[in-house]
Structure 1
Amino acid sequence: MTDSSPVARQIGDDSFNYFFGYYNKTNWDESGRFLLAHQVPWVNHRIEANLSARVGYFDTHSGDRFTTIGETTAWNWQMGAQLQWLGGQPRPTVIYNARRFGTQDRFPGFCSVVQEIETGQERRLPLPIYVASPDGRWGLSVNYRRLWVAHQTIGYSELGAASELDPYPQDDGIYRMDLSSGAYDLLISYAALRAFHPKDSMQKALHWVSHIEINPSSNRILFLHRWTERVADETCFLHRLITVNPDGSDMRLLECSDHPLPHLEADFDPSSVGTFDYEKSEYQISHPLWKDDRHIIVWGPHAGEIHYHLYEDAADGSVQVIGRDILTENGHMSFSPTNQRWMISDTYPDSQTSIRELFLFDMDDESRTSLGGFYTSPDLGKENRCDLHPRWSPDGTQVCIDSIHEARRRLYVADVSSIVTSAGR
């Protein structure tokens, strides 16, 4: 391991708290000038249905001035409101989730907002967004109320008691929505997932999906299919990595981590499980992301070992271990948009120091360069934690993270240009 540790610059200096959310999309616009973020007055708060966050952007060419473009109560600490830039638009445009009431939409109470940031012009779509295709033509949606029950960290809170859920309904699953017209249809149902290479452990389990991603050419989708009989204990979650075409055809099972679950005994106490024990499970499949149109990087088990693995999206595709004996724990990984020699990732907090490490990994010589360690309060739980979630700038010279190491939630930017453009690289 080498250590150059560039200094991470805090974005903005007011009294608010800011965060972007997940690692799977950049918060920089194409020009590299604007940084999307959520603004809240609290460093920590239980997620409630009436809790409002502002959405907007920092202008890095104007003293990091923050401009608010909207407000939403459809958000969580991990993914925010799924705020993201919308590709293929004539002017800088974002999409994010919000609530609306009295509608007959598929998921009543939730919608998505498409907004031009310069004019403020907006329109509302009938489904909430999970991820938009890189070409900006369509997006994928899920039932965030279902996620609130199954995996609360990535769901949206209910107005009242949590809903009773059908374990694997035929009329719910992953929806595809046209981002111009708002027309939508069911791409894959939970019943279809339950019937796809079924396992005995699925019979009494609640099913859901997460980590839905679209490849750069917008012609292939990946997602995690998860199921459990005990939603209160994440070590009982079971996982599959699946890919599919945008029309629902050619579904492929790339990995399955079905395994015995002694934790299902009636006297098991979920509160005995540490905050990050789930993330360190030897059966965990997590944080998949497209490296390119045909390859997926993911943390998970394969052939009896758990590593960073690179999967080829094919019927009998290859699986390659990345960074054996170097990348030894789960993280949020992605490849530079300009040079896939470079992978950015992070760690979960060290159990003794509560430090999260940010690092670069060189795919050519398998070296790891530390970009610094960032403290997080051990008092934060699963739902309100602050992961680094590193994200690349469009030109591949900077990395943006969320962090709480200075007692507020803030965005920080590290300049990695001296590393990725150094002699011989």
Structure 2
Amino acid sequence: MTQSKNLAARYPIRRLGQGPLHHFFGYYDKTVWDLDDRLVLANQVDCMTADLTPDMRAQVGYFDTRDGDRFHACGVTTAWNWQMGCQLQWLEGRPGRQFIYNVRRDTSGGIYPGFGAAIHNLDTGETYQIDTPIYVAAPNSRYALSVDYSRLYVTHETIGYCERFGKRRDLPLYPADDGIHRVDLETGATQLLVSYADLRNFNHRPSMDKALHWVSHIEINPSSSRVLFLHRWTERVEDETCFLHRLITMDPDGRNMRLLECSDHPLPQLADDFDPTAVGTYDYEKSEYQISHPLWRDDSHIIVWGPHDGSIHYHLYTDADGGAVEIIGDGILTENGHMTYSPVNPRWLLTDTYPDPHTNERLLILYDCDQRVLHELGSFYTDPGLRKENRCDLHPRWSRDGRQVCIDSVHEHERQMYVIDVSTLVDSR
């Protein structure tokens, strides 16, 4: 079931893409729409849930919402995963219509051999590649930030890229020559901003010393002047409930690092007799120590799900030394989700839930921050047989005008993208 009849009448929903192929975008942190709210970025694949191999291809392209939602393929990639896709995103700071996505490269060049990125210009039809894969591109499109996807494949397989010879077994715990790199999108030049050794030494905790370190959820603020990321470390990568987390911000040149939150805590799961296979698919997302899904609301505020002062909520952090921390939706927004503020009115917070353990339904939610009212946009079924690596979260994303929402879903037993019209709600307030 997609929506109850009354919800469908109020918030019309339509599917993008027809026929036997599957379509998805990936994560929640980037808009799929171009600046005109016409073209919607997407990946097209021929299966819904397969275990990925380095040879599996995804067509990269867009739906044209003024041409019957027809899909147009622009390129191909084999550097992707079910959770984040290929980091496909618009380069909105460049003239015309250009987007970037990750690819595999038959080259030993670059800081992460075998991976790079492709930049496609829709107006000229031209594509060129750079030697470094990207995690996120700055809104001004001048630079991007990069991490080692081979490392992520070991530490957090869901968001890494699979390797032909399996997971690496030679990863150093906290190397001084790897971490977050900055990539100049004009020249392709790279610069190491902060290393894993730097992160271990920054407000050091004893739990870091024997742990494997990595970085995820890198996000750049709207003016491209500040960066947030999650620093994570663990002694047991097989069990995500053993992950430890910190929310950190810094300047785009790596300076002025600031620790906003740390959820270091004792880990009884590290006992020798603990069985990581007993951990449920979504137990990690519901941990009381989880710091997840941070995103900039504006240039100086960050929304995140995580603990603060011993209690876990949606928290809004001010990026400043001693900055305020505010609970959002206290007693109303009680579950972890993928949240974004409306691009035109921060009154509206869009989010979702993980599947209910009994019904396997996920809720799509629009929260009114002014009135403290939750509006349910729909309920979407997911196959309980899906695993962490091939699951399909809703990952809701706003249109540029804040009147539409796009999700990925498998409620029709296919992996497809859907657009929900929320204009009757956001325009009437």
Same-fold call, TM cutoff 0.5: yes
After superposition, the Cα gap between the structure-2 partners of 1:389 and 1:43, relative to the gap in structure 1 and judged at 3 Å, is same
**CA distance in structure 1 between the aligned counterparts of 2:258 and 2:158, rounded to whole angstroms:** 27
Matches within 5 A, 1:209-228: 209-228=215-234
Q: Which residue of 1 aligns with 2:108?
A: 103
Alignment partner for residue 119 of structure 1, among 96, 116, 124? 124
CA distance in 1, matches of 2:71, 2:421: 21
Q: 3-state DSSP class of the match of 1:148?
A: helix
Question: What is the correspondence of 1:185-200 to structure 2 with a 5 Å cutoff?
Answer: 185-200=191-206
Match of 2:4 in 1: none
Aligned to 1:138: 143
2:367 matches 1:361: yes
**What one-letter code is carried by the residue in structure 2 that aligns with 1:343?**
L
Structure 1 residue aligned with 2:61, among 53, 56, 69? 56
Partner residue, 2:3: none
Is 1:128 equivalent to 2:144 in the alignment? no
1:326 pairs with 320, 332, 347, which one?
A: 332
Instruction: Kindly report which structure 2 residues correspond to 1:301-320, keeping only aligned pairs within 5 A, or say none.
Output: 301-320=307-326
Is 1:83 equivalent to 2:70 in the alignment?
A: no
Deviations 1:183-202 (A, max 9, x none): 11001100000000011110
Which portions of structure 1, spanning 4 or more consecutive aligned residues, are displaced by more than 6 angstroms?
A: none
Write the distance in 2 (CA, Å) between the matches of 1:65 and 1:330: 34
- CA deviation after TM superposition for structure 1 residue 122, in Å: 1.2
Q: Is the 8 A contact 1:311 1:319 kept in 2?
A: yes
Question: C-alpha distance in 1, partners of 2:156/2:52?
Answer: 13
Counterparts of 1:362-381 in structure 2 under 5 Å? 362-381=368-387
**C-alpha distance in 2 between matches for 1:4 and 1:151:** 40
- Which residue number in structure 2 is paired with residue 231 of structure 1? 237
Aligned to 2:265: 259
Secondary structure in 1 aligned to 2:139?
Answer: coil
- Residue 16 of structure 1 is aligned with which of 9, 16, 21? 21
* One-letter amino acid of the structure 1 residue matched with residue 104 of structure 2: R
What secondary structure is seen at the aligned counterpart in 1 of 2:312? strand
Taking the aligned partners of 2:114 and 2:256, their CA distance within structure 1 comes to 33
Tell me, yes or no, if structure 1 residue 247 matches structure 2 residue 253.
yes
Q: Does the 8 Å contact 1:341/1:364 carry over to 2?
A: yes
CA offsets 1:82-130 (integer angstroms, 9 cap, x no match): 0000122221001000001232211000000011123221111111010
Q: Which residue of 2 aligns with 1:34?
A: 39
2:348 is the counterpart of 1:347: no
CA displacement, residues 326-348 of structure 1 (integer Å, 9 cap, x when unaligned): 00000000001111100100000
**Aligned-partner residue type, residue 248 of structure 1:** G
Q: Secondary structure at the match of 2:199?
A: helix
CA contact (8 A) 2:11 2:424 kept: no
Distance 1:5 1:368 in 2: 15
Contact kept? 1:4, 1:370, Cα under 8 Å: no
- 8 Å contact kept, 2:215–2:231: yes
Partner SS, residue 146 of structure 1: helix
Cα RMSD, aligned residues only: 1.1
**Matches of 1:361 and 1:4 in 2, distance apart?**
19
Question: Could you tell me which residue of structure 2 aligns to residue 286 of structure 1?
Answer: 292
TM-score of the pair, normalised by structure 2: 0.97
Shift of 1:3: 10
Structure 2: distance between partners of 1:166 and 1:318: 36
1:72 to 2:77 alignment: yes
| Structure 1 residues not aligned, in runs of 5+ | none
Q: Secondary structure at the match of 1:187?
A: strand
Map of 1:396 onto structure 2? 402
How many residue pairs get aligned? The number is 422
- TM-score for the superposition, normalised by structure 1: 0.98
Unmatched segments (≥5 aa) in structure 2? 1-6
- Alpha-carbon displacement from aligned partner over 1:402-425 (angstroms, at most 9, x marks no partner): 000000011000000110011xx2
Query: Aligned partner of 2:201: which letter?
Result: A
